[in-house]
Amino acid sequence: MSQSSEQSITKRKDDFSKWYQDVIDGAQLAEHGSAKGTMVIRPYGYAIWENMQKVLDAMFKETGVQNAYFPLFIPESFLKKEADHVEGFAPEVAVVTHAGGKKLEEPLIVRPTSETIINDSYSRWIQSYRDLPLLINQWANIVRWEMRPRLFLRTTEFLWQEGHTVHATKEDAEDRVQMMLDVYKKFVEEYLAMPVIAGRKSDTEKFAGADFTTCIEAMMQDKKALQAGTSHMLGQNFAKVFDVKFLNEDGEQEYGWQTSWGVSTRMIGGLIMTHSDDNGLVVPPKIAPTHAVIIPIFSDEKEKKQVMPVAEDLAEKLKLEDLKIILDDRDMRPGPRFFEWEKKGVPIRIEIGPKDIKNNSVVAVRRDTGEKENIKQDECAKKIPNILDDIQKNLFEKASKFLKDNTHEVSYWDEFKKIMQNNGGFISAYWCGNAKCEQEIKDETKATIRCIPFCQDNGSGKCVHCDKTGKQKVIFAKAY
């Protein structure tokens, strides 16, 4: 066991950001890289990412998406072609000016996102309406220079997927924007057990170069918002700049309608801050690299001979139920072994000692509630999967209740300020739609418009800040 995993974890109420870092250290998920802002994802953290990838990749392919790979380096001139795009990304791009021992004729951008380089290819691949829709995703690393790095949440280099599609009509593209946001919502809620609010970004918060951006927003345990995924309607903006044209059914040239959508390793940060507790990481069973750890307990060779065959047999039986099981028979006292797996958030710990052997039972301990249950050995194959389902459900319900309890309907500016100064959380309020008003709210309270939820009651009311009429309620919050 490494030194870091023996250190205790700061309590959430004492220092939430220190707690977050301690949970990551304790579970051995990641560490800072030597180049400032970079991140090393350790095997256990990477295993969680691989599980996320596996599920999402299958969900994308189910909708007809194929994977491809595009270059890391983008000619600087490409980024400059779309005015909003370059303005949005310029402050955080890394530029290669020298290579092969020489100054480059044209500097290369290390991709902060791939719309430009992908459209360059699409302009050659698309000729006719028969080539559409073009539905491509890439799994890749991205570089956006980060001055204040935080593991998983903000790092100079991170991993993500970016989908880029081209359609013959605006309607088809808009359908795809919604379809992929629905995929993200389903994935985040069903697998990560993170409830989210789906909606549209305000123009200030939308993707640089998009007509509009849709998103899902989750609430962390410190009541701040975390954007968990975005799906953008790019319209014809990039198509016009990169000449992505096709011959329509009437034989006329038209520009393609495009979307892009992405989620990143940031989701791991969201997972940590949604479910983990003062004892460390809590991982929802559906995304957990290990579902249960079996801990045989014995104090001498004689006991070991009794306990080990039962533990080994149980491990085999549970593996047949498609569960990922670790049998931790290391020569260590039980306490430190319990502690270590608890910090890694393994959903169930199964203890088997000499007393349990006599009773033909085991002790199952839930990571989410700490509840202990004696289970007959021959019932484990049936009961353990049921407990895992229950943990998954419980985590989602708990987080949903937290989201609900900390979302406030607010009509008055004084109340808005008071909530943001004191307890925080999400504020649902009418907003006039004016960007200047939005900026004033942000300047005064640090709260931004997280999204304009799709679910609206079609009413209208006074803007919470300026009293002008607002037709839509929006969600305000401080955000990561």
Residues that bind Zn ion (CB under 5 A): 432, 437, 463, 465-466
Minimum distance from residue 466 beta carbon to Zn ion (Å): 3
Question: Which CB sits closer to Zn ion, 97 or 439?
Answer: 439
Q: Is 148 exposed, middle or buried (0-12, 13-18, 19+ CB in 10 A)?
A: exposed
β partners of residue 197: 217
- d(C-alpha 63, C-alpha 163), whole Å: 12
Question: Which CB sits closer to Zn ion, 319 or 408?
Answer: 408
Minimum distance from residue 418 beta carbon to Zn ion (Å): 18
Minimum distance from residue 224 beta carbon to Zn ion (Å): 23
Q: Is 282 exposed, middle or buried (0-12, 13-18, 19+ CB in 10 A)?
A: buried
Question: Which CB sits closer to Zn ion, 187 or 431?
Answer: 431
Minimum distance from residue 470 beta carbon to Zn ion (Å): 7
Handedness of CA 99, 103, 106, 108 (dihedral sign): positive
β partners of residue 453: 199
Q: Quick one: which of 451, 454, 455, 456 has its CA closest to 476?
A: 451
Angle between helices 334-343 and 16-27 (to 10 degrees): 120
Q: Quick one: which of 161, 232, 226, 149 has its CA closest to 195?
A: 226
Place of tokens 């100079």: 156
Question: Which CB sits closer to Zn ion, 359 or 411?
Answer: 411
Q: Is 452 exposed, middle or buried (0-12, 13-18, 19+ CB in 10 A)?
A: buried
Q: Is the preceding omega at residue 133 within 30 degrees of 0, hence cis? A: yes
Minimum distance from residue 449 beta carbon to Zn ion (Å): 11
Question: Which CB sits closer to Zn ion, 284 or 470?
Answer: 470
Minimum distance from residue 462 beta carbon to Zn ion (Å): 9
Question: Which CB sits closer to Zn ion, 302 or 471?
Answer: 471
Question: Which CB sits closer to Zn ion, 79 or 464?
Answer: 464
Minimum distance from residue 227 beta carbon to Zn ion (Å): 23
